[in-house]
Chain A
Amino acid sequence: MNKKKLGYKELPAGDLLEAGTALDFETGSWRSDRPIHDEEKCINCLICWAYCPDSAIKVEDGKVKEIDLRYCKGCGICAQVCPPKIKAITMVEENKAEK
């Protein structure tokens, strides 16, 4: 983001931002643990999609397509909420994960 910073005369009044500015902020750089999604085990219940605080679970045609690592902070909530009998998401230390 190399936008010019607005002065007080140009800024919208009060603490206002356009919607969707989180797109410009790639929180994936914060991650120390990476979620690994197993497509074969996954039953596509989409519980992980509902719980992900960063909307990083990408769904296409009702199926989990991928986990968007640009935004995934590695919080591990998706692995926690994945049904225990399924365990389709496992957390792996970032430095041990495949690049």
Chain B
Amino acid sequence: MSKNIVAKTGNEAMAEAMRQINPDVVAAYPITPATEVVQLFSQFVADGNVKTDFVTVESEHSAMSATIGASAAGVRAMTVTSSQGLALMNEMLYIAAGLRLPIVMPEVNRALSSPINIHCDHSDTMGARDTGWIQIYSENSQEAYDNVLQTVRICEHAQVKIPGMVTTDGFIISHCMERMEMIADNEVKNFIGEYRPERYLLDIKKPYTLGSLDLQDYFFEHRMQLAQAMCNTGKIILEIGKEFGDKFGRKYGFYEKYHLDDAEIAILVMGSTAGTAKVVVDQLREKGIKAGLLKLRVFRPFPYRELAQELAHLKVLAVMDRADSIDSFGGPLFDEVRSAMYDLKDKPQTVNYIFGLGGREINLEMIEGVYTQMQDIAKTGEIPQRVNYLGVRE
């Protein structure tokens, strides 16, 4: 394998992945901070670097609609969005999943209004967590690039056939330049292969109806199929993560463990904050504190069995949510991780930290503070506050 080390922002990394995928159709509407992915990709189209039919649309609702149309017609179709754009697509996200179309969408995480904010948090994709899409979160540009390539394979797999979004943290990853390795164009081409759907609307020899009225008699069965497909997706994600690792040297699973196996206290978090937390874990380990980290990569399907096993031995677990459910309890990640551990005989004390909303700073000291509080809980067995808002002014 030829190593090509480059410096890329998250947006550049995802645009390059799209160039190498060379989708047949991309329909997109530019929105911050994913704008740059679309802009860079449109340059590839203009320069003739891809053979993509690039459709400029008037909104994200139309972007997803056109992508659905192209995918149903039988081609590899992609789009890109962020924040309000994803919210506007919401109706069509359910349709893409319900029609079982393997659309891959890079998504740049940032806050939803109101008040107006353009910076990072996970509330946009958390709002789409029950749409039937695969959700894969990335810590940095390298992961964003690798995840986009793998997600094409995952979504198009015969046992999956559901759409997937790959996210990066807005500005923190999308606009931050980092060292990463790119795979050669022809190797990507071989890895993703050609898209050959079993059935497609433009196959005039086998005509069929797609998206018809589906009332009391059949709707439930079709939704059950989608639920089953999501259950099948886990093992495919692991297979493709392993194949990617064997070929290109970077293995992927549902999550990454960092000093977790012998840890007594640990943080579970998604996205770029995991990188900051790793530094804190290193500092604490030097002081002899048994701190660990689990960075969750795959949120949909939710790997509840595996998570429960990995976390069972901990004394205290802090789940860090970069989104709030506004449900008078905790964040979405906390709710699901805590539920996953419910059947364990001995389970860790679990606390929630909602942080970083609207791009609010999350730094080493703040994360160290979380570990310090977990040490106190481990010592006293008492939880002063189950759900905490980290870094908000009183």
The residues of A with any CB-CB pair to B shorter than 8 Å are 5-8, 11-21
Contact = CB atoms under 8 A, between A and B. Distances in A.
A11 B225 contact: yes
A14 B208 contact: no
B231 to A, nearest CB: 12
Given A13-B161, A14-B99, A16-B199, A8 B208 contact: no
A15 B207 contact: no
A19 B228 contact: no
B209 A14 contact: no
B228 A14 contact: no
B221 A7 contact: yes
A7 B224 CA distance: 10
Contacts of A21: 209, 212
B222 interface: yes
A92 to B, nearest CB: 30
Contact of A13 (B100, B207, B209, B211): B100
Contacts of A8: 221-222, 224-225, 228
Nearest to A19: B207
A71 B211 CA distance: 22
Top 8 A-B pairs, shortest CB-CB distance: A14-B100, A19-B207, A8-B224, A17-B209, A8-B221, A14-B99, A13-B100, A8-B225
B23 interface: no
Contact of A15 (B212, B217, B224, B228): B212
A18 B208 contact: yes
11 contacts: A5-B217, A7-B221, A14-B210, A15-B99, A15-B212, A16-B208, A16-B209, A16-B210, A20-B207, A21-B209, A21-B212
B217 A14 contact: no
A13 B100 CA distance: 7
Nearest to B198: A13
A15 B98 contact: yes
A14 B199 CA distance: 11
B222 A15 contact: yes
Interface in B182-213: 199, 207-212
User: What bracket does the count of chain B residues touching chain A fall in?
Assistant: 20 to 34
A21 B211 CA distance: 13
Interface of B: 98-101, 161, 199, 207-212, 214, 217-218, 221-222, 224-225, 228-229
B121 to A, nearest CB: 33
B221 A15 contact: no
Contacts of A15: 98-99, 210-212, 214, 222
Contact of B225 (A14, A18, A19): A14
Counting chain A CB atoms within 10 Å of each CB, the highest count among B99, B207, B209 belongs to B209
Nearest to A18: B208
A17 B225 contact: no
Counting chain B CB atoms within 10 Å of each CB, the highest count among A11, A15, A18 belongs to A15
A31 B209 CA distance: 25
B207 to A, nearest CB: 4
B98 A14 contact: yes
Nearest to A13: B100
Nearest to B223: A8
Nearest to A5: B217
B217 A18 contact: no
A54 B341 CA distance: 56
Contact of B222 (A14, A18, A19): A14
Given A8-B228, A17-B209, 4 more contacts: A11-B221, A14-B210, A14-B222, A15-B212
A11 B222 contact: yes
Contacts of A11: 218, 221-222, 225
A4 to B, nearest CB: 12
A19 B98 contact: no
B225 to A, nearest CB: 5
Contacts of B218: 5, 11
Nearest to B222: A15
B282 to A, nearest CB: 47
A53 to B, nearest CB: 16
A17 B210 CA distance: 7
B221 A6 contact: yes
A21 B218 CA distance: 15
B222 A17 contact: no
Contact of A17 (B98, B208, B217): B208
B221 to A, nearest CB: 4
A10 to B, nearest CB: 9
Counting chain A CB atoms within 10 Å of each CB, the highest count among B98, B222, B229 belongs to B222
A18 B199 CA distance: 11
